[in-house]
Amino acid sequence: MYGKNDLRATLQPRPAPAPETPFKGASYCRFYDEPPSEEGPLHQSWYGRGQNLIIAYSKVRSGAVLERQDQPDEYALLIPTAGLRVTVSAGNESETVEGPSIVFVPPGASRIEALEDGELFRLITTRSADLAAKCINAAAYAEPDPNVPPFEPWPEPVGGYRIRAYRGDVPPEPGRFGRLYRGSTVMVNFSSGMKGPRAPSNLSPHHHDDFEQYSVATSGDYIHHLRWPWVSDSSFWREDEHVRCAAPSVAVIPPPATHTSQGMSEGLNRLADAFCPPRRDFSARAGWVLNAADYPMPDNI
């Protein structure tokens, strides 16, 4: 059940399907505990994945360049730090963006140049096989999760693909959950975070029937609490998990695990939750997705 005053409690519940397959475990990538997946003169990058999405974390110095050639689909760039500027180039256009922001980058060739030192996160589908092979947890997805449907992108944006940047500090509004943005491949809840530990009396355990959640810690320290259902086949049962991950990290939470994340740091605790493809239930709520006018929903919603 959701915590006090959590707007997700207003979502229309869907009956959970009868489980017919074993449950996959969660995967945790603590980028601070691993050697970089790749390294250049001005950057270090780490990669972690779930079934559908790769989280690429990069520590960059001014002048660092992150490039993609022949990118098969759109991806998202998160700039979590206020004042950090990057120049994004794709096709015949180029745009300088200042954090906190989220940028949707078109398929094909693209280039991100850091104009200051800082940290960047790219959210790229596992269709990018070259990056999937570099993920520190690649072995965990040698076999796909049978509870997650095959990935299908959402429709192209209105007016076609181009660089689309959105501020990550839009003020909250009554009745609107979070700060949601969606592209054709991924949805992100770009939160402001909370200062200080989260009260244990106000957690929000919930589950998803058929999609993963990627909880990307950009600041602070978290305990991810997970519990899997007890079903008639006891061979599917899994132990509860209470796993601590500081930033930068990602917790890949599989369906149908009940989960909630508890900030523990005395300073800022901040998560960006990602979903690939975008969530249908969030998208169906008028006013929740801030860039909904740019990215249409599939016809069958």
- In whole angstroms, give the CA distance from residue 178 to residue 196: 19
Q: Residue ranges of the domains in the chain?
A: 7-283
pTM (two decimals): 0.93
- Tell me if 147 sits within 8 A of 252, measured CB to CB: no
Q: Which two tokens stand for residue 53?
A: 């999405």
pLDDT by residue for the chain (301 residues), tens only, comes to 556 667 766 676 555 554 468 999 999 999 999 999 999 999 999 999 999 999 999 999 999 999 999 999 999 999 999 999 999 999 999 999 999 999 999 999 999 999 999 999 999 999 999 999 999 999 999 999 999 999 999 999 999 999 999 999 999 999 999 999 999 999 999 999 999 999 999 999 999 999 999 999 999 999 999 999 999 999 999 999 999 999 999 999 999 999 999 999 999 999 999 999 999 999 999 999 999 999 999 987 6
What type of residue sits at position 153?
A: P
The superfamily (CATH) of domain 7-283 is Jelly Rolls (2.60.120.10)
- Bridge-based pairing state of the strands 221-227 and 258-263: antiparallel
Taking phi over 0 as left and psi of -120 to 50 as alpha, with beta for the rest, 102 belongs to beta
CA atoms of 135 and 25, how far apart (whole Å): 17
Q: For residue 94, give both structure tokens.
A: 């180029």
